[in-house]
Amino acid sequence: MSNRIFLPLVIALALAVPFFTANTYFHHLMVLWMLFSLLALSLNVIIGYIGELSFGHAAFFGIGAYTAAIVGMNFGLAGIPGLLLAAVMAGLFGFVIGYVSLRIVGPQFAILTLGFGSIIYTITNYWVDLTRGPMGISNIQPLGLWGEGGVALTGARGYYYLTLFLVIAFAYACHALLNSRTGRAFIATRENAPLAASLGIDVFRIKLLGFVVATAVAGVAGAVYAHYLTVITPDVMSLQYVAALIIMVIVGGRGTIAGPIIGALIYVVLLELLRALGPLRLVIFAALLTASVIFLPGGIVSLWRRLTGEETKPREAAE
């Protein structure tokens, strides 16, 4: 099926889905799916396009969430200004952290981002005056246009459309990026950094650009998450979430656009289906990650290509 028919169909389906059922629990799951899709897509920019493993991505999600919550609470700006500020804050942290850590590659980069993520997590836990520490912030206002008053998003359906819009916009941006000069520079950097540098690509700048974009988008996802759930605790930055995001990207298929979205769907669906199993469900997730790494390095998406017999585009082939 060609993309020209397929994509609008998927988008139309996504737009129509909330009307199939009035079940708000179902709507809630859809919102979570879209939020995790946005996060996984942003992490995919780092893992799939830059070709580095970041173990600190959940921290930027948390920074966005806390920025939106604090700005909304203290300045009454729970709306577009809050979202923008969350993106700026997360992107700023991303810039500083990326600027220092992208000089290092491979496993050391993974450990370094893990260190930065852990520092942010620890500070959030201990800076009680600002973040209320482990108690977290509750009663965050719903998302409005410009502070309080005026329209405010309350129901899950509204948040679903907002997050769906964000996912489509960011997925399109990723698609456009990959087909641009900058995008080709990304891929060249991922495949062979010294060679890319020899062709005149400023490898460090390209990596930093990707890192900052990824962290800023994670910040937006965090802000929407905070307004949607109205409660936020430092736990969103914990290793559990870092691992969850990595699982989504790897199991779905890194370096592709559909992969992280499918990965997020699998995560949300399995999390709900296996809720009764308690800790066992995380064991299943871990097994899924390991099995995917060993037997299906390209993720679920590569299965699709294998089935339809389409040639793997070298551009999107996961390393």
Partner 1 sequence: MNHGRARCSARPSPDWGEPVDYIVLAQQIANGLVNGMTYVLIATGLTLVFGVLHIINFAHGEFYMLGAFFTYFAAQLLGLDYISAAVVATLAVAALGILANRLFFWPLRREHEFTILLSSLGLALLLTNGGELLFGADPKYVDSPFADSIVQAGQLVVTQQRVLIFVVGAVILLALNLFIRHSRMGKMMRATAQNPEGAALTGVNIRQVYTVTFVLACGLAALAGALVGPTAMIFPTVGSWAVLKGFIVVILGGLGSIPGALIGGLSLGVIEALAGGYISLGFAQAIGYAIIIIVLLWRPQGLFGTARRT
Binding positions for partner 1, rule: CB under 8 A? 53, 100-101, 103-108, 110-112, 114-116, 118-119, 122-123, 125-126, 239, 243, 246, 250, 278-280, 282-283, 285-287, 289-290, 293-294, 297, 319
Nearer to partner 1, 180 or 240 (CB): 240
Backbone angles phi and psi of 152, in degrees to 5: -135, 140
Residues comprising the chain, all counted = 319
End-to-end CA distance of the chain: 26
CB of 273 to partner 1, least distance (A): 17
Nearer to partner 1, 42 or 101 (CB): 101
How does DSSP classify residue 275? G
CB of 122 to partner 1, least distance (A): 5
Distance separating alpha carbons of residues 211 and 315, to the nearest angstrom:
20
CB of 269 to partner 1, least distance (A): 19
Nearer to partner 1, 46 or 171 (CB): 46
HSE-up (13 A, CA, CB side) for residue 235 = 8
Nearer to partner 1, 150 or 279 (CB): 279
SS3 254: coil
Nearer to partner 1, 125 or 182 (CB): 125
How does DSSP classify residue 151? -
Q: Cβ(58)–Cβ(242) under 8 Å?
A: yes
- Pick from 93, 51, 46, 90: which is nearest to 71 by CA? 90
CB of 15 to partner 1, least distance (A): 35
CB of 314 to partner 1, least distance (A): 16
